[in-house]
Structure 1
């Protein structure tokens, strides 16, 4: 994802004309046709008990007016307790972006599966939702009217070993909570992962109104048999109405939950395959760097295998093996793994990419890829399959033709992108163009105003131009070309590092591994392949043309990748 810059300002707006431009431009951005916006709706919890509150989240990728949100369809089945709206403005890749979010607190009026109709935000509509409202249980009705207590819940109570258990902790308090600390579960022989942020709502127990903080965990038992989850302890201070002092620090309180016992089942005999993957859902797919993929002798192409699972951690996903072929050379990349959160599930993903360069023409087959796993929802074995793929490798284009002349770095930077014709409606094209033009005009005006106030400062250094690219970078690039043409891995490695050092003198790449980490997957895989050739125990032939075809237009950098993280805010600030 590209770098994002928040759009903000400070100072006296009335001092300079450019600020009035900003307000005008923001108004135009809000008028961009709503066809460019998307609306999403979701509940923080999809199942609640009668008497509890639930938060409805609405998000639209545009700047929206709170008055444009119509909540009338909710009034039949819900009592609307409150609403909050937040709008964020950003610049992403130089383009203005806006997002508006509503948090609407609701209390269901009846028990059952409630159908939430579409809500209208201006001309946009949300998708319909459902909410399950359950009647209170006997345990809820018998709960003593304490000021504060803890409930815990585990699902399922008889999990398979290494399968996810959804462990939920709820802290109920009927008086103001001044501070507190709630311990995390730490059962023996188990791995525990926090699932997202705390969820807050209200409920009624034994005639008292309670605030509730819900915290979720994913628990993975590592051994079969009986697993005891110890009681969780809470320690904090609550308001004490009996102490009349205005400056009272409140009353210290300690509470513990009930321990829970799980009956962990071993891997069933019906499970087959080398891996034990107990999952609620699992998918296996492949992605090619070209769509559809085209194969030609000497031209690299990248295949990525993507494995995704619900209810497994990224550390549980196996490495996918690659078959060896005699018709191509292979350069595997480092696998990429990550965890994310989907409601009460831990989601995991593993991607493995490999660049392949065909060495001869003909018809070949990628064999079928199979991965056995256990469906914990249906309690039966399943197999994820990538079907076999028949391909045809075409001969090289003009194999006798001399190498394409190398463009200099200056020519590469000055080259303009290809112009692709496309059609757009007048409404789609007009307002974004006007808004962006005015935004550019405002930036130019603001820059001129800023320059006029810098006459007493040291003049700014001249900006780097294309001509300032060091000549040693061009020389190193030519050295890479000659070394690749001679199929000389040692000279190619030296020239590549010299090229990188000339381009990034402040942060030079000291070895090929560091350079490969900066490049995109295809180029990085080829550089790692070169590194393996250099340190091979026996002499190995190396073809430099594949690498040169990828880097001849410049070293292709790795695109930044956003990390999916979940904010893990503490329950309340702990006392130090």
Structure 2
């Protein structure tokens, strides 16, 4: 009778020992293993105003791999800013590893902006060795997007935290003579707006002075409060009047909307007066001497040869650069014809994502900006988190120009028209072929993929 009781007890004890780890595993709360936390800088913004989104993923040492999704929305331009941060933090007595990412969101339509849920999918290891799946999702609260105020007086909508207009150059304190080459640089800086949204500084100077502007320089950088856009315009100013007197450079006014005080402000660069010395008395008599008058000068335009002294060397340099560019293009074309332009990367997600990206380009879908960096990263195997990073990797001037035009049309209410979707798709295909042609010279080299996730989270 005793032996008959021992066997059932032994079987029950064995079953209990087997089920205990599985029961503990089933009762393991996933929100203590890995969870997402979202925060935003504002709950109400204007259309095209910057909204900063912070995404934090908390996970314990039990998580061995996983993937965290990026935010996306068809009516917003979303770009990741800076590098992701990795650190440790203790919550409720538990020590977590933390991955923190920052995103900038620019809503393109007024109304209610609701981002889809951000999700984490991963695998964790139980202390006894069993593996199990963990997941979590989080939804950001709805954001109210307000339309452009009806009383805004500017031609370009500029919702910013701060906007300044400054000038340097024209340091001369005394009079200037006709033909003197003066240099002036204007700088427009905005906190909370990318450089592509800033308006061009088109200034009408008086007839007594001629302006020779250089190409605009635009750059965006990430600061503590988000993006900082800067537009810089440098120009040469040459007085041409033969009479003395004052030349007044006009005042520059740029209306913008202060999102902190919720009211319109105007960035003002005051007018600047330059004193011009008259041409000396003997100067006109010298024009009758053949030696003093160049054959190219026209009657009544005595001051024209002065700026020509520096203009001809500039034109000569530009012609030399043009010839050098033509020779380089011919050589590169010859090289490309001799190289096999086939892509040695195995077909897969890159090709599928590229076709999807082309469809978005043809439809001018803003979701293009969300998938563009990921496709460029998969194509090249290089570090790529933003649209500008992708354009740098592809190194294609045509594609850069079309994308910049599109971004300007999205951000600037008075900007130019959006490019044609077929033009954008064609530029994207040409950029991909160009990259493949360049990379064909590096076949056989194993390009290590960048570390997309923190240590222990590589899928």
TM range (shorter): 0.5 to 0.7
Q: Equivalent residue for 2:260?
A: 377
Q: Equivalent residue for 1:390?
A: 273
1:571 matched to 2:453: yes
After superposition, give the CA deviation of every residue in 1:56-97 in whole Å (9 maximum; x if it has no partner): xxxxxxxxxxxxxxxxxxxxxxxxxxxxxxxxxxxxxxxxxx
TM-score by length of 1: 0.45
Distance in 1 of aligned mates of 2:238 and 2:125 = 70
Which has a greater percent of helix? 2
Deviates more, 1:216-225 or 1:229-238: 229-238
1:161 matched to 2:47: yes
After superposition, give the CA deviation of every residue in 1:128-155 in whole Å (9 maximum; x if it has no partner): xxxxxxxxxxxxxxx9852000011122
1:356 matched to 2:356: no
Higher relative contact order (CA 8 A, sep 6+): 2
Taking a change above 3 Å as real, the CA distance of residues 258 and 396 of structure 1, as seen in their structure-2 partners, is same
After superposition, give the CA deviation of every residue in 1:251-277 in whole Å (9 maximum; x if it has no partner): 443322224311111112332221211
Q: CA deviation at 1:344?
A: 3.6
Q: Equivalent residue for 1:302?
A: 183
After superposition, give the CA deviation of every residue in 1:296-317 in whole Å (9 maximum; x if it has no partner): 3112112111100111111211
Distance in 2 of aligned mates of 1:494 and 1:205 = 67
On the 8 A contact 1:290/1:301 being kept in 2, the answer is: no
Distance in 2 of aligned mates of 1:199 and 1:233 = 18
Taking a change above 3 Å as real, the CA distance of residues 293 and 243 of structure 1, as seen in their structure-2 partners, is farther
1:220 matched to 2:114: no
Q: CA deviation at 1:492?
A: 7.6
After superposition, give the CA deviation of every residue in 1:545-566 in whole Å (9 maximum; x if it has no partner): xxxxxxxxxxxxxxxxxxxxxx
On the 8 A contact 2:181/2:307 being kept in 1, the answer is: no
On the 8 A contact 1:174/1:209 being kept in 2, the answer is: yes
After superposition, give the CA deviation of every residue in 1:390-436 in whole Å (9 maximum; x if it has no partner): 11123569966989xxxxxxxxxxxxxxxxxxxxxxxxxxxxxxxxx
Aligned pairs (5 A) from 1:285-296: 285-288=166-169, 290=171, 295-296=176-177
Q: CA deviation at 1:184?
A: 1.5
Q: CA deviation at 1:371?
A: 0.8
Q: Equivalent residue for 2:116?
A: 230
On the 8 A contact 1:144/1:206 being kept in 2, the answer is: no
Taking a change above 3 Å as real, the CA distance of residues 322 and 264 of structure 1, as seen in their structure-2 partners, is same
Distance in 2 of aligned mates of 1:297 and 1:495 = 24
Which has a greater percent of strand? 1
Q: Equivalent residue for 1:13?
A: none
Distance in 1 of aligned mates of 2:451 and 2:278 = 58
Give 3-state SS (helix, strand or coil) of 1:318's partner. Answer: coil
Aligned pairs (5 A) from 1:8-407: 146-243=32-129, 251-288=132-169, 290=171, 295-360=176-241, 361-395=244-278
Long gaps (5+) in structure 1: 1-142, 245-249, 404-483, 511-567
Alpha-carbon RMSD: 3.9
Q: CA deviation at 1:211?
A: 1.8
Q: CA deviation at 1:329?
A: 1.8
On the 8 A contact 2:185/2:235 being kept in 1, the answer is: yes
Count how many residue pairs are aligned between Structure 1 and Structure 2: 292
Distance in 1 of aligned mates of 2:203 and 2:182 = 15
On the 8 A contact 1:216/1:344 being kept in 2, the answer is: no
Q: CA deviation at 1:177?
A: 4.0
Distance in 2 of aligned mates of 1:162 and 1:371 = 18
Give 3-state SS (helix, strand or coil) of 2:153's partner. Answer: coil
After superposition, give the CA deviation of every residue in 1:366-396 in whole Å (9 maximum; x if it has no partner): 1111111111111111111111111112356
Aligned pairs (5 A) from 1:428-467: none
Q: CA deviation at 1:227?
A: 0.8
Q: CA deviation at 1:488?
A: 12
Q: Equivalent residue for 1:54?
A: none
